[in-house]
Chain A
Amino acid sequence: MLRPTKILVPTDFSEFSDKALKQALDIAKQYNAKVFLFHAVSTEIKSCMGDACLGDDMIRDIENQIITRAREDLQKQLDKFPQSKEVSVITDIGNGTPYEAILKEAEDKGIDLIVIASLGRSGIARFLVGSVARNVLKGAKCPVLLTK
Protein backbone atom coordinates (compact mmCIF):
# COMPACT_ATOMS: atom_id res chain seq x y z
CA MET A 1 0.00 0.00 0.00
CA LEU A 2 1.38 3.35 -0.99
CA ARG A 3 1.22 5.66 2.00
CA PRO A 4 4.26 7.86 2.23
CA THR A 5 5.54 8.44 5.77
CA LYS A 6 9.02 9.80 5.10
CA ILE A 7 9.51 11.92 2.01
CA LEU A 8 12.98 12.84 0.82
CA VAL A 9 13.41 16.04 -1.18
CA PRO A 10 16.89 16.52 -2.58
CA THR A 11 17.55 20.18 -3.24
CA ASP A 12 20.23 22.16 -4.99
CA PHE A 13 18.44 25.44 -4.12
CA SER A 14 17.40 25.97 -7.74
CA GLU A 15 13.89 27.12 -8.66
CA PHE A 16 13.26 23.61 -9.98
CA SER A 17 13.86 22.15 -6.56
CA ASP A 18 11.61 24.84 -5.08
CA LYS A 19 8.78 23.29 -7.04
CA ALA A 20 9.64 19.78 -5.91
CA LEU A 21 9.73 20.96 -2.30
CA LYS A 22 6.35 22.62 -2.64
CA GLN A 23 4.78 19.46 -4.03
CA ALA A 24 6.44 17.33 -1.36
CA LEU A 25 5.01 19.59 1.35
CA ASP A 26 1.54 19.22 -0.21
CA ILE A 27 1.89 15.44 -0.19
CA ALA A 28 3.26 15.43 3.35
CA LYS A 29 0.30 17.45 4.53
CA GLN A 30 -2.15 15.10 2.88
CA TYR A 31 -0.55 11.96 4.33
CA ASN A 32 0.78 13.39 7.59
CA ALA A 33 4.28 12.46 6.52
CA LYS A 34 7.66 13.82 7.49
CA VAL A 35 9.77 15.73 4.97
CA PHE A 36 13.53 15.35 4.80
CA LEU A 37 15.02 18.29 2.93
CA PHE A 38 18.46 17.23 1.83
CA HIS A 39 21.39 18.94 0.20
CA ALA A 40 24.57 17.21 -0.87
CA VAL A 41 27.82 19.13 -0.73
CA SER A 42 31.20 18.11 -1.84
CA THR A 43 33.74 18.93 0.83
CA GLU A 44 36.55 17.20 -0.91
CA ILE A 45 38.68 20.23 -1.39
CA LYS A 46 41.75 20.08 -3.46
CA SER A 47 44.42 21.07 -0.98
CA CYS A 48 47.18 21.90 -3.42
CA MET A 49 47.35 23.89 -6.60
CA GLY A 50 50.78 23.34 -7.95
CA ASP A 51 53.09 24.21 -5.13
CA ALA A 52 50.64 26.37 -3.23
CA CYS A 53 49.08 24.21 -0.51
CA LEU A 54 46.43 24.98 2.04
CA GLY A 55 47.03 24.05 5.64
CA ASP A 56 44.80 21.50 7.39
CA ASP A 57 43.30 24.22 9.55
CA MET A 58 42.41 26.25 6.53
CA ILE A 59 40.76 23.27 4.84
CA ARG A 60 38.73 22.49 7.93
CA ASP A 61 37.70 26.11 8.02
CA ILE A 62 36.52 26.04 4.43
CA GLU A 63 34.60 22.82 5.00
CA ASN A 64 32.84 24.35 7.97
CA GLN A 65 31.96 27.39 5.93
CA ILE A 66 30.48 25.25 3.17
CA ILE A 67 28.33 23.34 5.63
CA THR A 68 27.21 26.44 7.53
CA ARG A 69 26.28 28.09 4.28
CA ALA A 70 24.31 25.02 3.18
CA ARG A 71 22.39 24.99 6.48
CA GLU A 72 21.45 28.63 5.99
CA ASP A 73 20.37 27.99 2.42
CA LEU A 74 18.19 25.05 3.49
CA GLN A 75 16.46 27.23 6.07
CA LYS A 76 16.04 30.02 3.55
CA GLN A 77 14.46 27.68 1.05
CA LEU A 78 12.06 26.32 3.67
CA ASP A 79 11.06 29.81 4.72
CA LYS A 80 9.74 30.45 1.22
CA PHE A 81 6.90 28.03 1.93
CA PRO A 82 4.44 28.82 4.70
CA GLN A 83 3.14 25.23 4.45
CA SER A 84 6.43 24.05 5.92
CA LYS A 85 5.19 25.25 9.30
CA GLU A 86 2.35 22.73 9.23
CA VAL A 87 4.52 19.78 8.33
CA SER A 88 7.36 18.26 10.25
CA VAL A 89 10.50 18.99 8.27
CA ILE A 90 14.01 17.77 8.94
CA THR A 91 16.94 19.30 7.10
CA ASP A 92 20.08 17.35 6.46
CA ILE A 93 23.33 17.75 4.61
CA GLY A 94 25.24 14.93 2.98
CA ASN A 95 28.67 14.67 1.55
CA GLY A 96 29.75 13.33 -1.80
CA THR A 97 28.50 12.91 -5.32
CA PRO A 98 24.92 14.20 -5.25
CA TYR A 99 23.07 11.13 -6.52
CA GLU A 100 25.09 8.75 -4.35
CA ALA A 101 24.54 10.89 -1.28
CA ILE A 102 20.80 11.06 -2.06
CA LEU A 103 20.46 7.29 -2.45
CA LYS A 104 22.44 6.71 0.74
CA GLU A 105 20.27 9.17 2.67
CA ALA A 106 17.15 7.43 1.36
CA GLU A 107 18.36 4.09 2.67
CA ASP A 108 19.72 5.40 5.97
CA LYS A 109 16.51 7.23 6.84
CA GLY A 110 14.10 4.55 5.60
CA ILE A 111 12.57 6.94 3.07
CA ASP A 112 9.47 5.66 1.27
CA LEU A 113 9.06 8.39 -1.35
CA ILE A 114 11.55 10.64 -3.09
CA VAL A 115 10.30 13.83 -4.72
CA ILE A 116 12.82 15.24 -7.13
CA ALA A 117 12.78 17.90 -9.83
CA SER A 118 13.57 16.76 -13.34
CA LEU A 119 16.11 19.54 -13.67
CA GLY A 120 18.43 21.24 -11.27
CA ARG A 121 20.95 24.00 -11.21
CA SER A 122 22.39 23.27 -14.60
CA GLY A 123 18.87 22.79 -16.09
CA ILE A 124 19.10 23.40 -19.79
CA ALA A 125 16.01 22.34 -21.67
CA ARG A 126 12.49 21.51 -20.63
CA PHE A 127 12.29 18.09 -22.16
CA LEU A 128 15.31 16.55 -20.56
CA VAL A 129 15.86 14.82 -17.29
CA GLY A 130 18.97 16.00 -15.47
CA SER A 131 21.75 13.63 -14.55
CA VAL A 132 21.10 13.65 -10.81
CA ALA A 133 17.39 12.97 -11.26
CA ARG A 134 18.15 10.26 -13.81
CA ASN A 135 20.54 8.45 -11.50
CA VAL A 136 18.16 8.74 -8.57
CA LEU A 137 15.29 7.38 -10.69
CA LYS A 138 17.47 4.44 -11.68
CA GLY A 139 19.02 3.66 -8.34
CA ALA A 140 16.26 4.33 -5.80
CA LYS A 141 14.62 1.40 -4.09
CA CYS A 142 11.47 3.36 -3.26
CA PRO A 143 9.00 5.13 -5.57
CA VAL A 144 10.23 8.41 -7.02
CA LEU A 145 7.99 11.31 -7.99
CA LEU A 146 9.55 13.34 -10.75
CA THR A 147 8.15 16.85 -10.77
CA LYS A 148 8.15 19.09 -13.83
Chain B
Amino acid sequence: MLIPTKILVPTDFSSYSDRALAQALDIAQEYKAQVYILHVVPEKIGHSIDDYGLTPRSIKQMETKMINGAKKKLQKELNKFSQVNELEVFGEVVIGNPSEIIINTQKDKKIDLIVISSLGKTGLAKFFLGSVARNVLKGSTCPVLLTK
Protein backbone atom coordinates (compact mmCIF):
# COMPACT_ATOMS: atom_id res chain seq x y z
CA MET B 1 0.00 0.00 0.00
CA LEU B 2 1.38 3.36 -0.94
CA ILE B 3 1.34 5.60 2.11
CA PRO B 4 4.45 7.73 2.16
CA THR B 5 5.89 8.15 5.64
CA LYS B 6 9.37 9.50 4.85
CA ILE B 7 9.79 11.70 1.83
CA LEU B 8 13.21 12.61 0.48
CA VAL B 9 13.62 15.82 -1.50
CA PRO B 10 17.02 16.40 -3.05
CA THR B 11 17.64 20.08 -3.70
CA ASP B 12 20.30 22.03 -5.55
CA PHE B 13 18.63 25.35 -4.63
CA SER B 14 17.43 25.91 -8.21
CA SER B 15 13.90 27.13 -8.96
CA TYR B 16 13.18 23.63 -10.26
CA SER B 17 13.92 22.05 -6.94
CA ASP B 18 11.87 24.77 -5.20
CA ARG B 19 8.88 23.37 -7.01
CA ALA B 20 9.69 19.80 -6.06
CA LEU B 21 9.97 20.90 -2.44
CA ALA B 22 6.59 22.66 -2.61
CA GLN B 23 4.95 19.51 -3.94
CA ALA B 24 6.71 17.27 -1.44
CA LEU B 25 5.45 19.46 1.42
CA ASP B 26 1.90 19.20 0.04
CA ILE B 27 2.18 15.42 -0.04
CA ALA B 28 3.71 15.33 3.44
CA GLN B 29 0.82 17.38 4.77
CA GLU B 30 -1.73 15.08 3.16
CA TYR B 31 -0.13 11.91 4.55
CA LYS B 32 1.43 13.36 7.72
CA ALA B 33 4.83 12.23 6.52
CA GLN B 34 8.32 13.37 7.50
CA VAL B 35 10.36 15.34 4.98
CA TYR B 36 14.11 14.97 4.50
CA ILE B 37 15.69 17.72 2.46
CA LEU B 38 19.09 16.80 1.15
CA HIS B 39 21.67 18.95 -0.54
CA VAL B 40 24.78 17.33 -1.92
CA VAL B 41 27.91 19.43 -2.38
CA PRO B 42 29.62 17.91 -5.41
CA GLU B 43 32.91 16.29 -4.42
CA LYS B 44 36.24 16.32 -6.22
CA ILE B 45 37.36 19.81 -5.45
CA GLY B 46 40.32 18.08 -3.86
CA HIS B 47 41.85 16.27 -6.78
CA SER B 48 41.37 18.87 -9.45
CA ILE B 49 43.26 21.57 -7.62
CA ASP B 50 46.10 19.49 -6.25
CA ASP B 51 48.58 21.17 -8.55
CA TYR B 52 47.89 24.53 -7.07
CA GLY B 53 49.51 23.48 -3.87
CA LEU B 54 46.53 23.22 -1.59
CA THR B 55 47.16 21.19 1.50
CA PRO B 56 44.65 18.63 2.68
CA ARG B 57 43.99 20.98 5.55
CA SER B 58 43.00 23.90 3.39
CA ILE B 59 40.82 21.60 1.30
CA LYS B 60 39.13 20.49 4.48
CA GLN B 61 38.58 24.12 5.39
CA MET B 62 37.06 24.86 2.01
CA GLU B 63 34.77 21.91 2.35
CA THR B 64 33.65 23.04 5.77
CA LYS B 65 32.94 26.48 4.35
CA MET B 66 30.94 24.99 1.51
CA ILE B 67 28.92 22.86 3.88
CA ASN B 68 28.19 25.78 6.16
CA GLY B 69 27.19 27.94 3.21
CA ALA B 70 24.90 25.19 1.92
CA LYS B 71 23.32 24.79 5.35
CA LYS B 72 22.44 28.49 5.37
CA LYS B 73 20.96 28.23 1.89
CA LEU B 74 18.96 25.20 2.92
CA GLN B 75 17.49 27.13 5.83
CA LYS B 76 16.64 30.00 3.49
CA GLU B 77 14.92 27.63 1.12
CA LEU B 78 12.89 26.17 3.97
CA ASN B 79 11.88 29.61 5.16
CA LYS B 80 10.09 30.16 1.85
CA PHE B 81 7.44 27.65 2.86
CA SER B 82 5.09 28.28 5.75
CA GLN B 83 3.98 24.63 5.87
CA VAL B 84 7.40 23.69 7.20
CA ASN B 85 6.29 24.74 10.68
CA GLU B 86 3.45 22.25 10.70
CA LEU B 87 5.57 19.34 9.57
CA GLU B 88 8.54 17.30 10.68
CA VAL B 89 11.26 18.53 8.35
CA PHE B 90 14.92 17.56 8.46
CA GLY B 91 17.66 19.22 6.46
CA GLU B 92 20.99 17.65 5.62
CA VAL B 93 24.09 18.66 3.67
CA VAL B 94 26.56 16.03 2.48
CA ILE B 95 29.63 16.09 0.25
CA GLY B 96 29.83 13.54 -2.55
CA ASN B 97 28.41 12.41 -5.82
CA PRO B 98 24.81 13.71 -5.91
CA SER B 99 22.96 10.72 -7.34
CA GLU B 100 24.97 8.20 -5.30
CA ILE B 101 24.38 10.08 -2.06
CA ILE B 102 20.68 10.46 -2.82
CA ILE B 103 20.28 6.74 -3.48
CA ASN B 104 22.30 5.79 -0.38
CA THR B 105 20.27 8.17 1.77
CA GLN B 106 17.08 6.63 0.44
CA LYS B 107 18.24 3.22 1.61
CA ASP B 108 19.80 4.33 4.92
CA LYS B 109 16.85 6.43 6.05
CA LYS B 110 14.28 3.95 4.74
CA ILE B 111 12.73 6.63 2.56
CA ASP B 112 9.53 5.47 0.86
CA LEU B 113 9.09 8.30 -1.64
CA ILE B 114 11.54 10.55 -3.43
CA VAL B 115 10.29 13.79 -4.95
CA ILE B 116 12.73 15.20 -7.47
CA SER B 117 12.52 17.80 -10.20
CA SER B 118 13.29 16.75 -13.74
CA LEU B 119 15.84 19.52 -14.08
CA GLY B 120 18.28 21.15 -11.77
CA LYS B 121 20.80 23.92 -11.83
CA THR B 122 22.05 23.18 -15.31
CA GLY B 123 18.50 22.74 -16.67
CA LEU B 124 18.66 23.38 -20.37
CA ALA B 125 15.48 22.54 -22.17
CA LYS B 126 11.96 21.55 -21.32
CA PHE B 127 12.04 18.05 -22.69
CA PHE B 128 15.15 16.81 -21.00
CA LEU B 129 15.70 14.86 -17.92
CA GLY B 130 18.73 15.94 -15.94
CA SER B 131 21.46 13.45 -15.15
CA VAL B 132 20.87 13.44 -11.39
CA ALA B 133 17.14 12.84 -11.79
CA ARG B 134 17.83 10.15 -14.36
CA ASN B 135 20.23 8.27 -12.10
CA VAL B 136 17.90 8.56 -9.13
CA LEU B 137 14.97 7.24 -11.18
CA LYS B 138 17.10 4.29 -12.20
CA GLY B 139 18.77 3.50 -8.92
CA SER B 140 16.23 4.11 -6.17
CA THR B 141 14.35 1.18 -4.70
CA CYS B 142 11.29 3.25 -3.75
CA PRO B 143 8.78 5.11 -5.96
CA VAL B 144 10.03 8.40 -7.36
CA LEU B 145 7.79 11.37 -8.16
CA LEU B 146 9.28 13.38 -10.95
CA THR B 147 7.97 16.95 -10.89
CA LYS B 148 7.93 19.22 -13.90
- Chain A residues within 8 Å of B, Cβ to Cβ: 1-3, 22-23, 26-27, 30-31, 118, 127-129, 134, 137-148
Q: Is B129 interfacial (CB-CB < 8 Å)?
A: yes
Q: Is B124 interfacial (CB-CB < 8 Å)?
A: no
- Chain B residues within 8 Å of A, Cβ to Cβ: 1-3, 22-23, 26-27, 30-31, 118, 127-129, 137-148
For A27, the chain B residues whose CB sits under 8 A away are 2
Are A1 and B146 neighbours in the complex by a CB distance under 8 Å? no
Cα distance A134–B144 when bound, in Å?
Answer: 13
Ordered by A's residue number, 13 sampled pairs between the chains whose C-beta atoms are within 8 Å are A2-B147, A22-B2, A26-B2, A27-B2, A137-B129, A138-B118, A138-B128, A142-B148, A143-B23, A143-B147, A146-B144, A146-B145, A148-B144
Cα distance A128–B26 when bound, in Å?
Answer: 29
Are B137 and A143 neighbours in the complex by a CB distance under 8 Å? no
For A3, the chain B residues whose CB sits under 8 A away are 26, 30
For B27, the chain A residues whose CB sits under 8 A away are 2
Are A148 and B145 neighbours in the complex by a CB distance under 8 Å? no
Are A129 and B138 neighbours in the complex by a CB distance under 8 Å? yes
The closest CB in chain B to the CB of A24 belongs to B2
Partner of A128, one of B128, B138, B142, B145: B138
